[in-house]
Amino acid sequence: METRSNHVLVGAVVLILLALLALFTVWLARIGGTHMKEYDIFYKQAVDGLAKGSQVTYSGVVSGQVKEIRIFDPQFVRVRVQVTDDVPILQGTTATIQGSFTGTSTVSLDGGLKGQPALVCPQPVPNHDCPYGVPVIPTKTGGLGAILNSAPQLLERLSTLTERLTGLLTDKNQASIAGILQNTNRLTSALADRAPEIAATLAQTRVAIAQAGVAAKQIGDLAQTSNGLLANDVKPTIANLNATIASARKSTDTLNAALGDARPGLQAFSKQTVPEVGQLVHDLRETAQSLNSIATKVDQQGASSLIGSPKLPDYKPGKSGGKGK
C-alpha cells in the first residue's frame, strides 16, 4: 500500500510540474509575442481560395492571418482577420482578395493614407458600423481576384459566342460571304479603272469650290455696298420724308384749330342769313312773275293799257235792227 501511495504521489507531482511548465511556456510566448488586432471584412463576392489560417498582407508584407470565415447573410461573407498591432490600419484602408492559379488566396490590405486616424469602432459597440464589435475594413475588387471570380461568366459567354459563330459560318453563309468578297473585289477594280475620271471630277469640284468662294466674296462686297447706299442715300431721304410728314401734321393741326374758331360764325350764318336769303329769293320770284305779266299785257294791248281803262269792244248792229229802221 505504501508503495502504491508513493507512485500516486510521484505521478501527481509530475503532472503538476508539467502543468506549471506549460503555463510558464505560454506566459513566455505571450511576453515574446506580438499583440494582434482583429477586423471584420464583408465580401459580396465569392471567397474561393480563402480558409482559416490564410495569410493577410499589407502592401505585400505578411501582417496577419484569417481567423474565421462565416456567412453573414445570403449576399455577404464575413471574414475575421488578425493583424499585428504595428500595422497602420487607417481610415481609407481597403481589403481585396488576391487569388492565384494554385488555388490559394490571400487577403491584401492597402490604401491607408498618412495622417488619417486609425480605423476604430464608435462607442458603444456593437452598432451599425461594427456589428460584431470590431472595426470593419471596406472591400475593393482586386484585379486577378475579379478575373478569377468572373471566370465562369467569361467561359459561359465565350461558349455562347462560339456557338453563334458556328451557326453563322455554315456552308450557305460561307458561300454568301465569298460572293460579297468577290463583289467587293469587282467594285475595287472598277474604282481603280475609273481613277482618272474620279481625279478629273475632284479637280472640277475644286474649281467649283474656288468659284463659289469668289462668288461668296462678291456677294459680301455687294452687301457691303448696299449697306453703304442705305446709310448714305436712303437714310437722308427718309429723314426728309419724316420732316415733311411732321410739317403736314402741323399744318393739319393749324387747319383744325382755324375750323374750330370759325365754327360759331358758320353756325350763326346758317341760322340767320340762310332764312333771309330764302325770303329774298321768294320775293324776287314774285317780282319776276309780276314783270312777266306786265310784259305780256304790253305785248297784247299796247303801252296804253298800262295808263288807261280798258277799251270797250265796238258795237255792230244786227240784222233785226236794220229792218226796224
| pLDDT tens digits for range 315-324 | 555 544 444 4
Indicate if the alpha-carbon torsion angle 4, 9, 13, 18 is positive or negative: positive
Using one digit for the tens of pLDDT, what is the confidence trace for 235-275?
666 777 777 778 777 877 776 776 666 566 556 655 666 57
| Cβ count within 10 A of residue 268 | 9
Domain count, the chain: 1
Whether the per-residue pLDDT at 304 is higher than 60: the answer is no
**Own/partner pairs, 255-263, CB within 8 angstroms, 24+ separation:** none
Predicted pLDDT of residue 72: 87
Is the pLDDT higher at 304 or at 64? Answer: 64
User: Which are the contacts of 163, defined by CB distance < 8 A and separation ≥ 6?
Assistant: none
Q: What are phi and psi of 39, to 5 degrees?
A: -140, 150
Q: Looking at residues 197-215, what average pLDDT do you find?
A: 87
Predicted pLDDT of residue 67: 93
- Asked whether residue 77 is assigned to any structural domain, the reply reads yes
- Asked if 97 and 107 touch (Cβ cutoff 8 Å), the reply is yes
- Model-level pTM? 0.40
d(CA 87, CA 57): 10
Whether the per-residue pLDDT at 137 is higher than 90: the answer is yes
- Asked whether residue 164 is assigned to any structural domain, the reply reads no
Predicted pLDDT of residue 206: 87
Residues in a beta bridge with 43: 77
- Asked whether residue 118 is assigned to any structural domain, the reply reads yes
- Asked whether residue 205 is assigned to any structural domain, the reply reads no
The rounded mean pLDDT for the chain is 77
Tell me how long the chain is. Answer: 325
- Asked whether residue 124 is assigned to any structural domain, the reply reads yes
The residue segments making up the domain with residue 38 are 33-148
Q: Is 159 helix (H, G, I), strand (E, B) or coil?
A: helix
Task: Out of 16-30, 196-210, 223-237, 238-252, pick the least confident.
Answer: 223-237
- Asked if 20 and 37 touch (Cβ cutoff 8 Å), the reply is no
- Asked if 122 and 129 touch (Cβ cutoff 8 Å), the reply is yes
Is residue 253 classed exposed, middle or buried when 0-12, 13-18 and 19+ CB atoms within 10 A define those classes?
exposed
- Asked whether residue 186 is assigned to any structural domain, the reply reads no
- Asked whether residue 128 is assigned to any structural domain, the reply reads yes
- Asked whether residue 38 is assigned to any structural domain, the reply reads yes
Q: What are phi and psi of 45, to 5 degrees?
A: -95, 170
